[in-house]
Structure 1
């Protein structure tokens, strides 16, 4: 396993992280259909991941309505101290008007609930799961800072924020001397490269670690989804079409992945993961699995080194059109003195 520093903190996390969204099946779809893994299956995956050197395990309170956190807590057991344990809050977890969001009231309650379900006295990385347009960022940051000072949280992070939203939080933290986000968690894959425009450059500029979720585009880049439909009806993508993918472009990307995979004698998912791991600014890639063989394939991606030819072929087939104002701002080279 390889490790990378998490932003500007003093800790290092494995470049492959284990995601626990497939753990548990409680609640309405999609949680009842994504994975539905019970304790025995989850315990095997957690043990395999930790034995392979994975030290970052990521879950969320909303996954299977809390059941994922419960299963993670039981699976870690005495190995809890060996991992950087991450979870998230924001989504609705009850019927009350305040059982959702990022208010001081809900941050405190959601954290206590997660600690109880995870059977731990602290969370190593506590992440907001989305942007709350109702709650002032200073209120949320104040509540998170309290949790850090109380020892219930070691570091804080954010998921699914636009660059301007993240900068609003970072600016408030710096201005008021509050705990600062150490990382962001974003969707990034060959089939979804929008983060390259503003979100990744912002993270590099601000010293944030970047954790990637759904690097296989919800299973679309696994090679099990063809132009005629899924070759495996049990595949997650066959039942849950998320995140959204431009199908025509996506199938072209899979075709290119197959070429590169054959060149290296490996599976398509390994190449797709290796591409994300090779992107500038990416700290760790979060992978989920339902079966041990899937996890073995995913973990092996950290050792696959793609050639310049591989990267050029994959970059070309997956490239997004250059958006405005990027194409209107010229090149930094335009500011350099001309020779002669």
Structure 2
């Protein structure tokens, strides 16, 4: 689940979302210090504790925010991260993006220091290009620490990681790609195609993006129609088909972190892996989403 929304939700709603996720077999939660300035981490920890979870029951991923900072702040801020998530440990600590007042080598060294000090278990990155990911992988390798993941924007309406070298590099190096926004902010559900007036309810600048324009909706309509056709055959939703394709088409390389703002979203996300797409279904969805490579 994506922690960025939690600080804006009532605590009862957050608990419902986390509870539904846990009941469905999800035991991995992603957050970041920049989500609510640490509030998301605190809410996640408190919610898991109320639900009776203990350290070791779940996997926690968080992120260091590099903007206007240098690598030294990785070590300086880890205490705050650990305190916010207490009693749960940090299983995966990620560099949120590649732009900082320090080199990738320096950031990798700071992360490796935390691993060797026992403060975090593993290291990941987020929004790193293929070359930046390779640099981080090489820098960590010098310290005997693997780069385990790169969190990237990836969905059927944005498949750029397949054409810009990120996917190929991840497969070569054995790095897991964590897909954020895997449902394209709800576009892959088809609800905006059915009722374009809903676009006006979108918060922030997203509603002005070309994919929400009439021409953008028309461009993605053939894919949405196919997702619905496949969904009907399996007794599931278009969103579930989109998620299923994402985590299976490239073998074991891609995992997804769909967000949720209500319990039903979490339950739908859980159900996305409860069926198997045929090779023909995988191929057809691939074909219709290729304009978005």
TM class by shorter chain equals: 0.7 to 0.9
* Distance in 1 of aligned mates of 2:222 and 2:244: 18
RMSD: 2.4
Distance 2:15 2:208 in 1: 27
Equivalent residue in structure 1 for 2:229, among 259, 263, 270: 259
The answer to whether the 8 A contact 1:141-1:178 is kept is no
How far is the alpha carbon of 1:142 from its aligned partner? 1.4
- How far apart are residue 164 of structure 1 and its match? 0.5
Corresponding residue for 1:84?
59
Q: State whether residues 141 and 179 of structure 1, in contact with CA within 8 Å, keep that contact through their aligned partners in structure 2.
A: no
Q: Which position in structure 2 is the counterpart of 1:241?
A: 206
Distance in 2 (CA, whole Å) between partners of 1:272 and 1:147 is 37
How far apart, CA to CA, are the structure 1 residues paired with 2:144 and 2:150? 17
Matched, 1:138 2:105: yes
User: Given that residues 19 and 288 in structure 1 are in contact (C-alpha distance below 8 angstroms), is that contact kept between their aligned partners in structure 2?
Assistant: yes
- The CA distance in 1 between the partners of 2:197 and 2:290, in whole Å, is 24
19, 23, 29: which one aligns with 1:57: 29
Per-residue CA deviations over 1:39-59 (Å, capped at 9, x if unaligned) read: 221112112211222111101
Is 1:128–1:159's contact at 8 Å kept on the other side of the alignment?
yes
Q: 1:200 to 1:301 in 2, by over 3 A?
A: same
Give runs of ≥4 in structure 1 deviating > 6 Å. Answer: none
SS of residue paired to 1:319: helix
Asked if 2 retains the 8 angstrom alpha-carbon contact of 1:217 and 1:245, the reply is no
What pairs up with 1:139-288 in 2 under 5 angstroms?
139-174=106-141, 176-197=142-163, 198-226=165-193, 229-231=196-198, 237=202, 241=206, 246=211, 247=216, 248-280=218-250, 281-288=252-259
Greater C-alpha radius of gyration: 1
Q: Given that residues 66 and 100 in structure 2 are in contact (C-alpha distance below 8 angstroms), is that contact kept between their aligned partners in structure 1? A: no
Superposed, 1:252-331 pairs within 5 Å as 252-280=222-250, 281-320=252-291
Change (3 A) 1:224 1:23: same
| 1: CA distance, partners of 2:197 / 2:11 | 28
Which segments of 5 or more consecutive residues in structure 2 lack a partner in the other structure?
A: none
TM-score by length of 1: 0.76
Contact 1:160 1:186 in 2 (8 A): yes
Cα shift at 1:309: 2.8
Any stretches of 5+ residues in structure 1 without a counterpart? 1-17, 25-35, 93-99, 323-340
